[in-house]
């Protein structure tokens, strides 16, 4: 069951190995790989979480704000991009069985999509995040970004 403090595992500093699909919704199988470093903090007694990620060889950095709604028992996750600003559509969901799954309806280059974030393989020293888009209402999914995080002591 999901609850405040679910993202406590991510508080700290992380090296992040990124794999991002070169072209989405085109049958592409080519991935670009690049490093990142994430620093995450908790607030509101664990009902909020913020991380900032820097990508040293990219032309942008990012941040995520995560806020827990106790009445609805769900998290809302907001992505911020240093060149485009706040993505106003949060992905919403929670954790079950150690896996966090979050969804939103959005658009990709003007095309309506369903977005899915999955947090999995969570340990004290590692975590995996992946983003997938569905262009057919959730029947099929294309994973387009994977982050493998390793805690820095």
Residue corresponding to tokens 């387009």: 144
pLDDT value for 16: 98
pTM of the model: 0.95
The tens digit of pLDDT for each residue in 9-28 reads 999 999 999 999 999 999 99
CATH of domain 6-151: 2.40.128.20
| Side-chain-facing half-sphere of 35: CA atoms under 13 Å | 6
Beta carbons within 10 angstroms of residue 29's beta carbon: 8
Indicate the SS3 state at residue 8: helix
Indicate the domain borders of the chain. Answer: 6-151
The tens digit of pLDDT for each residue in 54-110 reads 999 999 999 999 999 999 999 999 999 999 999 999 999 999 999 999 999 999 999
Burial class of residue 145 (count of CB atoms within 10 Å of its CB; 0-12, 13-18, 19+): middle
Beta carbons within 10 angstroms of residue 16's beta carbon: 19
Residue 2 pLDDT > 90: no
């Amino acid at each position: 069951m999901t609850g405040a403090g679910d993202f406590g595992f991510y508080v700290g500093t992380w090296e992040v190995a990124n794999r991002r699909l070169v072209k989405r919704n085109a049958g592409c199988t080519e991935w670009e790989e690049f490093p990142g470093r994430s620093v995450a903090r908790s607030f509101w007694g664990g009902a909020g979480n913020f991380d900032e990620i820097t990508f040293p060889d990219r032309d942008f950095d990012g941040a995520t704000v995560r806020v827990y709604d106790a009445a609805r028992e769900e998290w809302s996750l907001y992505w911020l991009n240093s060149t485009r600003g706040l993505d106003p559509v949060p992905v919403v969901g929670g954790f079950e069985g150690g896996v966090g799954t979050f969804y939103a309806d959005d658009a990709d280059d003007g095309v309506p999509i369903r977005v899915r974030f999955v947090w999995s393989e969570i340990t004290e020293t590692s975590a995996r995040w992946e983003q997938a888009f569905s262009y057919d209402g959730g029947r099929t999914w294309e994973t387009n970004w994977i982050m493998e995080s390793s805690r820095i002591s």
